[in-house]
A and B are shown apart, each in its own frame.
Chain A
Amino acid sequence: MTATTPDASPVGARARVRESAMSAAPGSGAAPAVGRLARLRRHPATRRALHPGAWWLWAGGLAAAAMRTTNPFLLGLIIGVAAYVVAARRTSAPWARSFASFARLAVFVVVFRMVIQILFGDRLPGTTLFTLPSIALPDWMAGVSLGGPVTAEALVMAFNQGLRLAAVLICFGAVNSLCSPYRMLRALPAALYEAGVAVTVALSFAPQAVMQAGRIREARRLRGRPTKGLAGLRGMAIPVLEGALDRSVALAASMDTRGYGRRATVAPAIRRITSITTGIGLLAVTVGLYGVLDAGAPQGLGLPLLGMGSVALAASVFAGGRRAVRTRYRPDPWRLAEWVVSLSGLAALAGMIAAARTPGGGEALNPSFFPLVWPTLPLVAAAGILVALLPSVAAPRPPAFVTLPPEITKPEIEPDASAEVER
């Protein structure tokens, strides 16, 4: 434990420098709180996992902010902020490595969006960069074109839109590597718990299938069969699926054996009211979310409906919770750090909304492509996004433990205490 506590990474060092600068800044209102957090954090006992809800609110706020803009500077800032916080506060658990995969996926999305634009996209007028040989398509495929002139405007538009999706993906990847999906599930209210379990089981399918595929690939080599290429892929699918199916049955048996799905008896009237309020609440939340995320939606549609739906959902969840007999083991506390992290994410969204209200703000958030203008950096929105950097300092360090790459699932490798000391 002692050997792993000091964080030797440059990120940790930089975070410390900035945080002491902040706490020393005279007249800063946030200084005492941040200073206290910093003091707490330096003490090893304050290492703890942040409430997963706080991370999800933070990432949700950032992602919602990203949805409202196509300004490449702002999107780049969001990606940078998310990546920085991940680098500073992710755990050493296997799921924390998922951020790299999400980053790769994000790059792929941007490239793919641009390739699609070049090949099939609308032939927009403007500065032609180069022209692809165009193929005439039959009439019934009107609206789709193949090849033709590629303009700078179209490329910039495709890049910005791809970047927006990439930023949302990065936010999702960030929250996945900052807290395990299972922890979020545990924090769900009792009524939603069973749906949540279905989601976790589904989530565990992919890594299990990957491990099973690895074992089967080894077995194929031991049979002298090709392990690479198409021939290797063929004949692996069925055993992999079989293995995954076997595992799901074993898992279901184990869950049932351990009391999953036990119910308390509840009056039918309450059950009926619960389902009605759930329906209404879900509808209101959906429409409300649309209002919040789409800047073009009518004013006043978003927040009031979202609020109303949330209240209805909360009521139904409370009523539905009475059917479940579950209790919760060591629920994550919601303390100052959780407030700071979740509000900092929401600040990014607030900054974006405020920026849209300023004169010329809409233009800055969604810069025009026709004519192509050099985007500006809206200061209010950028400031909001920068507030979302706070978790890299304010969130407590995650608990440390020695861990292994996910491919080692055979019982043969046992990281013991000596491995920890050596590090």
Chain B
Amino acid sequence: MIRFDQVGFTYPGATRPTLSGVDLSVDEGELCLVVGRTGSGKSTLLRAVNGLVPRFTGGLLTGSVWVGGRRTEDHPPRDLADLVGVVGQDPAAGFVSDTVEDELAYAMENLGVPADVMRRRVEDTLDLLGLHELRSRPLITLSGGQQQRVAIGAVLTASPRVLVLDEPTSALDPAAAEEVLAALTRLVHDLGITVLVAEHRLERVVQYADRIIHLPGGGRSVEVGSPAEIMATSPVAPPVVELGRLAGWSPLPLSIRDARRAAKPLRERLASIAPAADALSGSLADLTMAGVVPRSGAVLASTRSLHAAYGPVVALRGVDLEVRAGEVLAIMGRNGSGKSTLLSHLVGLRAPQSGRVDVDGHEPHRLGPADAIRRIGMVPQDAGLLLNADSVEAECRANDHDAGLAAGATAASLAALVPGIDPEAHPRDLSEGQRLGLALAVVLAPAPPVVVLDEPTRGLDYEAKDRLVGVLERLVAEGHAVVLATHDVEVVARVADRVVVLADGDVVADGPAREVVSHSPVFAPQVAKVLAPEPWLTVAEVEKALAGMTP
């Protein structure tokens, strides 16, 4: 269905090729997962399938790409529209019309599909993706998960035989991601559509894949194989695979179900020991003390019966929250539960409708910008928005100036966080992880006691996440408080001390991470699901425990 024939690609002005000598073919009806570190060329590979690379990017493509017997060199993307559907990373950026139904019909109108067929396919797609209640809604009023499903539906209605998706679940909460992935597997199983999908969060998708294309990056050749083959050696692997490698299970389990069947002996071995108390504060040992939640540090920021609304829609209904020194507080909840609203109140971007926000004895929205960043710092969802200088060095210098710091303070903060960034590089050319590091360095330079991060792991590969976890742990050790809004349950399991779950503007759970996370079917990390009822959350914990047992 898709064939890459010795494909190489170099972006204009780049010194090294992004792809080189890529040879692969994807058969009809396969769900094929593209994995690799950030910057290894996943998006480039995906966009080459229908010729958006190089037609919309410039650059030099060598070799040839065939889709369904057509070569992208001879056919522009619009002539492949009936064959390939491509959904980009930011679905909202690709919307053409203004309501859901019109958006779904757009591709079919261009293809000249007869009216009665169009009507039927729109109805089918609305049902298939669970969008029927949204059919006449304006697109800009939809949540992230809804927008993603509309974007998939909008290419599906043209009934393409190939569907290409670039990180379809990165903006979605675990439940919404399941929904999108379930829809995708249904397309593969029932309609025989070939799906090519790139995703950083392997824990979500690897079990659905028929084959994996691994892009090692750095000019090495592409590996293609069955999920179990690739996962056995891949440097990027989900926790369930790492647990399998650790325990030496063969065949390597890819899904929770397979892992649980293999895990019985491991569970029995682990039953005798509790997770090390230092692995996570608020751990089991503390919990056993009559459910008393350990709260050591001083309160650095708090909200009291905080209400917020956007027009008729209530975003927060009386939220009480305390952020204490020396803890990582994770705020979780589905898309639209009020996480971002809560964060923007904490840092004073919005004034509370009623209730009170208190940061270090001040109401943050009344503080001047230069004053506010000394007390509470925030990295927004799109970290790149914070950066607008031409080079890393200029960015650091500008920040020293803005925040009134000694020259070189930001550069020092950056060197401590992510060493080895080229000071001449343009912030846009940095990898996702480096850009986050730079934004974090900029925010941390004035040394605010409280640091707020909104969805920091979006678009990060496992290695970058490891580094982020290290940075957060160090910040907490230095006495900072870290507030983290995220959908990433694996990162929460590794780094959070306390978890607050928001639903529909209410706090529905507030407690030690281990307790909150492992009792929720949605927010439980993979290791917890495999080893339940034993209270383990991460592979590292298990590894430590096993290492303590063997000698």
Which A positions have Cβ atoms within 8 angstroms of B? 93-95, 180, 182, 186, 197, 200, 215-216, 218-227, 235, 238-239, 246-247, 249-262, 325-331, 399, 401-419, 423
User: Are the CB atoms of A327 and B118 closer together than 8 Å?
Assistant: yes
Closest to B370 in A: A224
Min C-beta distance of B523 to chain A, whole Å: 17
Does any Cβ of A come within 8 Å of B442's Cβ? yes
Q: List 27 A-B contacts (CB under 8 A).
A: A180-B99, A186-B97, A218-B380, A221-B369, A222-B373, A252-B56, A253-B77, A254-B96, A256-B52, A256-B78, A258-B110, A259-B82, A259-B110, A261-B78, A262-B110, A262-B111, A325-B112, A327-B112, A329-B115, A330-B115, A401-B136, A401-B138, A408-B310, A413-B313, A413-B341, A414-B146, A423-B312
Among all A-B residue pairs, the 6 with the closest Cβ atoms: A414-B336, A411-B144, A254-B94, A259-B81, A329-B105, A414-B143
User: Are the CB atoms of B111 and A418 closer together than 8 Å?
Assistant: no
Question: CA A328 – CA B127 in complex, angstroms?
Answer: 21
Closest to B383 in A: A219
Question: CA A261 – CA B55 in complex, angstroms?
Answer: 15
User: Are the CB atoms of A410 and B372 closer together than 8 Å?
Assistant: no
Question: CA A256 – CA B79 in complex, angstroms?
Answer: 9
Does any Cβ of A come within 8 Å of B206's Cβ? no
Contacts of A227 in B (CB 8 A): 369
Q: Contact mask B17-55 → A, CB, 8 Å, 1/0?
A: 000000000000000000000000000000000101001
A413 touching B310 in the complex, CB below 8 Å, given contacts A218-B344, A328-B109: yes
Contacts of B507 in A (CB 8 A): none
Q: Contact mask B342-354 → A, CB, 8 Å, 1/0?
A: 0010011100000
Question: CA A183 – CA B111 in complex, angstroms?
Answer: 19
Binds A, one of B84-92, B194-202, B413-421, B489-497: B84-92
Contacts of A200 in B (CB 8 A): 96
Does any Cβ of A come within 8 Å of B107's Cβ? yes
Closest to B338 in A: A412
User: Are the CB atoms of B81 and A257 closer together than 8 Å?
Assistant: yes
Contacts of A401 in B (CB 8 A): 136-138
Which residues of B95-131 are within 8 A (CB) of A?
95-99, 101-102, 105-115, 118-119, 122
Min C-beta distance of B308 to chain A, whole Å: 10
Min C-beta distance of B353 to chain A, whole Å: 14
Which residues of B304-350 are within 8 A (CB) of A?
310-315, 334-341, 344, 347-349
User: Are the CB atoms of B369 and A95 closer together than 8 Å?
Assistant: no
Contacts of B95 in A (CB 8 A): 251, 254
Does any Cβ of A come within 8 Å of B501's Cβ? no
User: Are the CB atoms of B56 and A256 closer together than 8 Å?
Assistant: yes
Which of B92, B110, B402 is close to A225, meaning CB atoms less than 8 Å apart?
A: B402
A225 touching B335 in the complex, CB below 8 Å, given contacts A327-B114, A409-B140: no
A253 touching B370 in the complex, CB below 8 Å, given contacts A94-B140, A325-B112, A414-B143: no
Q: Contact mask B249-284 → A, CB, 8 Å, 1/0?
A: 000000000000000000000000000000000000
User: Are the CB atoms of B112 and A326 closer together than 8 Å?
Assistant: yes
Contacts of B336 in A (CB 8 A): 411-416
User: Are the CB atoms of A412 and B155 closer together than 8 Å?
Assistant: no
Min C-beta distance of B261 to chain A, whole Å: 37
User: Are the CB atoms of A223 and B109 closer together than 8 Å?
Assistant: no
Closest to B312 in A: A423
User: Are the CB atoms of A411 and B143 closer together than 8 Å?
Assistant: yes
Question: CA A411 – CA B81 in complex, angstroms?
Answer: 28
Contacts of A402 in B (CB 8 A): 137, 141, 312-313
User: Are the CB atoms of A250 and B93 closer together than 8 Å?
Assistant: yes
A257 touching B52 in the complex, CB below 8 Å, given contacts A251-B93, A411-B144: yes
Q: Contact mask B397-418 → A, CB, 8 Å, 1/0?
A: 0010011000000000000000
Min C-beta distance of B202 to chain A, whole Å: 23
* Other A-B pairs beyond A225-B369, A259-B82, 8, CB < 8 Å: A180-B99, A215-B382, A223-B442, A258-B106, A327-B108, A329-B102, A402-B137, A405-B311
> How many A-B contacts at CB < 8 Å in the complex?
233
Does any Cβ of A come within 8 Å of B5's Cβ? no
Contacts of A403 in B (CB 8 A): 137-138, 141
Closest to A417 in B: B133
Min C-beta distance of A367 to chain B, whole Å: 43
Min C-beta distance of A178 to chain B, whole Å: 14
- Among A216, A222, A404, A417, max chain B CB count under 10 A is at A222
Contacts of A247 in B (CB 8 A): 93
User: Are the CB atoms of B79 and A262 closer together than 8 Å?
Assistant: yes
Min C-beta distance of A236 to chain B, whole Å: 9
Min C-beta distance of A186 to chain B, whole Å: 7
Question: CA A239 – CA B384 in complex, angstroms?
Answer: 11
Question: CA A409 – CA B382 in complex, angstroms?
Answer: 14
Contacts of B55 in A (CB 8 A): 256
Question: CA A407 – CA B119 in complex, angstroms?
Answer: 32
Closest to B100 in A: A401
Question: CA A239 – CA B141 in complex, angstroms?
Answer: 24
User: Are the CB atoms of A329 and B143 closer together than 8 Å?
Assistant: no
User: Are the CB atoms of A326 and B109 closer together than 8 Å?
Assistant: yes
Does any Cβ of A come within 8 Å of B378's Cβ? yes
Question: CA A331 – CA B115 in complex, angstroms?
Answer: 9
- Among B136, B339, B377, B378, max chain A CB count under 10 A is at B136
Contacts of A406 in B (CB 8 A): 140
User: Are the CB atoms of A404 and B310 closer together than 8 Å?
Assistant: yes
Which of B78, B113, B335, B402 is close to A327, meaning CB atoms less than 8 Å apart?
A: B113
Question: CA A52 – CA B93 in complex, angstroms?
Answer: 26
Question: CA A251 – CA B92 in complex, angstroms?
Answer: 9
Min C-beta distance of B455 to chain A, whole Å: 10
User: Are the CB atoms of B373 and A224 closer together than 8 Å?
Assistant: yes
Closest to A180 in B: B98
User: Are the CB atoms of B377 and A222 closer together than 8 Å?
Assistant: yes
Does any Cβ of A come within 8 Å of B388's Cβ? yes
Q: Contact mask B140-153 → A, CB, 8 Å, 1/0?
A: 11111111000000
Contacts of A331 in B (CB 8 A): 115
Question: CA A246 – CA B109 in complex, angstroms?
Answer: 26
Contacts of B171 in A (CB 8 A): 411
- Among B77, B119, B315, B337, max chain A CB count under 10 A is at B77
Contacts of A408 in B (CB 8 A): 141, 310, 313
User: Are the CB atoms of B93 and A262 closer together than 8 Å?
Assistant: no
Question: CA A255 – CA B86 in complex, angstroms?
Answer: 11
A257 touching B110 in the complex, CB below 8 Å, given contacts A94-B140, A414-B146, A416-B336: no
Closest to A258 in B: B107
User: Are the CB atoms of A219 and B386 closer together than 8 Å?
Assistant: yes
Contacts of B137 in A (CB 8 A): 401-403
User: Are the CB atoms of B147 and A411 closer together than 8 Å?
Assistant: yes
Question: CA A402 – CA B85 in complex, angstroms?
Answer: 30
User: Are the CB atoms of A182 and B97 closer together than 8 Å?
Assistant: yes
Does any Cβ of A come within 8 Å of B385's Cβ? yes
Contacts of B446 in A (CB 8 A): 224
Does any Cβ of A come within 8 Å of B218's Cβ? no
A259 touching B111 in the complex, CB below 8 Å, given contacts A218-B349, A225-B402, A329-B122: yes
Does any Cβ of A come within 8 Å of B500's Cβ? no
Does any Cβ of A come within 8 Å of B504's Cβ? yes
User: Are the CB atoms of B402 and A258 closer together than 8 Å?
Assistant: no
Does any Cβ of A come within 8 Å of B154's Cβ? yes
Min C-beta distance of B154 to chain A, whole Å: 7
Question: CA A197 – CA B82 in complex, angstroms?
Answer: 21
Min C-beta distance of A338 to chain B, whole Å: 19
Min C-beta distance of B404 to chain A, whole Å: 9
- Among A197, A221, A251, A262, max chain B CB count under 10 A is at A221
Question: CA A235 – CA B388 in complex, angstroms?
Answer: 9
A219 touching B380 in the complex, CB below 8 Å, given contacts A327-B113, A403-B137: yes
Contacts of B315 in A (CB 8 A): 412-413
A330 touching B119 in the complex, CB below 8 Å, given contacts A216-B385, A411-B143: yes
Does any Cβ of A come within 8 Å of B528's Cβ? no
Contacts of A250 in B (CB 8 A): 88, 90, 93-94
Does any Cβ of A come within 8 Å of B76's Cβ? yes
User: Are the CB atoms of B388 and A239 closer together than 8 Å?
Assistant: yes
User: Are the CB atoms of A224 and B98 closer together than 8 Å?
Assistant: no
